[in-house]
Structure 1
């Protein structure tokens, strides 16, 4: 089982598709211009490129624009959330067991109750799976697995994701900097209480079958570099529930601050960085673009379409409002 919880990444007001997939589409057209920013220090030297990623993709995403490829070529370091190609299988299984599995005396069926377990069983069967295989999973991991199962039936592949593309292009040629560890990513949803995890799974079950249109809309916005639309599609879902506000805090706000600390340290060295993380981490008043500007760096859009008013969208998320 492949687990991808980068931002979440990530739909039509759908938590899990934003967090897990971070935006795909088979309805791509015209020349792409996904969002790319360059970051200059006080001496106007380019120290960093920011490129928003989709963790799954299809062949229509490629080739990438020349400006993106040139920025990657000009960089000494590739920074990613996690080097997925260097993961050790035994360590992944151990982390899943530690953070995503119930102890032997508990199981998902008893935690959910008869009605919700029946729904889970039906959804799993519709996706070609067996709910019995999810029985020791905590609710957050079961939700992830259901989403991965749906992705497996779609046109999108992790092998064609953008972080995967740049990891392959950089291997043995550039320094690869991981901004997070496997344990840190696994702990994300384990922070939720039992009740919150069950709510998270319920949202996933409710949204099954509704995600395809959302994925297409998000992918089109990414492909066109349409920052205003991406802001709305990514963050509006986090305003709808108290759980959404909590997820926003530790998926975006806390992780972005941690990423910024690592990036800032590297930018003080002589090496130029090409950073590829989920597109949601770039956007809004809590995104890396805004955080770097607040640190005094000059951030300039190279490709894509942006507008300053969309920085305010996250203010509504932080206050739990849905204006």
Structure 2
């Protein structure tokens, strides 16, 4: 009888442990060259509360990496808020480029969020778009916290790993700031027009990221058809600019590097994985 009870308890514990296994498989690739290993991890910049730590196989890769690379130096970004604000206010401002219909539509939406309708008037449209996008998430039912990149960056700092930035903060700002006024406005108003679907869209993004479904990720993230200039500036051109830095990491025999970039940079036209393959490297998908 005691054996049966013990066996029952053991089976129950095993079932409980199995239920806790993290089945998430975010986009992850490895590229190897002359003894160097570079892992490419697709990130989402905001995660629901309780989504950390990451799956065990990702945490193990982080532990094995001596170098961790990110889009930008996140520590620098937090100290240069003034520069960001300056770049967002030195050209055509939102109040000067919206027509009456656009202004009214934005005002109604901002009021629905409890935000003054003139809140973004003193900023350029691209900055208003970034801010508006975060505003829609803040009014979602779920509670969101730091994303994959912020989580791993803070850990890498504490653990003393070598940190590499694929671009500067100025580069990243320019990707937005250099867009034409028309594209900036079109992008913002597209967000306003789909605000009631923002929570559903972001949930779909998180689900596609967690499952590693690249086709679904590409469909959710790609603005290529509706906003071609935005797609080219924010994704394709930056992907190309990152390749030299990735080649430098591949020229470090014996080192393991983990590269953490937005998941959108690993899928769709002109993605980083495709560019590395075009350069003659073999990129292999890791699923666990």
Q: Would the TM-score normalized by the shorter structure come out above 0.5?
A: yes
Among residues 30, 50, 54, which one is paired with 1:38 in the alignment?
Answer: 30
Question: What residue number does 2:282 align with?
Answer: 298
Tell me how far apart the structure 2 counterparts of residues 131 and 73 of structure 1 sit (CA, whole Å).
Answer: 47
Normalising by the residue count of structure 1, what TM-score does the alignment of the two structures yield?
A: 0.76
| 1:284-295 to 2 correspondences below 5 Å | 284-295=268-279
Question: What residue number does 2:267 align with?
Answer: 283
Tell me how far apart the structure 2 counterparts of residues 179 and 297 of structure 1 sit (CA, whole Å).
Answer: 19
2:71 counterpart of 1:81: yes
Question: What residue number does 1:96 align with?
Answer: 85
Question: What residue number does 1:108 align with?
Answer: 94
| 1:249-260 to 2 correspondences below 5 Å | 249-260=232-243
User: What count of residue pairs does the alignment treat as equivalent?
Assistant: 265
| 1:14-163 to 2 correspondences below 5 Å | 31-41=23-33, 43=34, 45-89=35-79, 91-97=80-86, 99-102=87-90, 107-154=93-140, 155-157=142-144, 159-163=145-149
Among residues 161, 164, 173, which one is paired with 1:174 in the alignment?
Answer: 161
Which structure has the bigger radius of gyration?
A: 2
Q: Any gaps of 5 or more consecutive residues in structure 1?
A: 1-28, 305-323
Q: 1:200 to 1:48 in 2, by over 3 A?
A: same
2:183·2:230 contact (CA, 8 Å) conserved in 1? no
Q: How far off its partner does 1:213 sit?
A: 1.3
Tell me how far apart the structure 2 counterparts of residues 245 and 176 of structure 1 sit (CA, whole Å).
Answer: 32
Question: What residue number does 1:206 align with?
Answer: 193
Q: How far off its partner does 1:107 sit?
A: 4.6
2:206 counterpart of 1:223: no
RMSD: 2.1
Q: 1:196 to 1:284 in 2, by over 3 A?
A: closer
Stretches of 4+ moved more than 6 A in 1?
Answer: none
Q: Is the partner of 1:273 in helix, strand or coil?
A: strand
Normalising by the residue count of structure 2, what TM-score does the alignment of the two structures yield?
A: 0.84
Q: Any gaps of 5 or more consecutive residues in structure 2?
A: 1-20
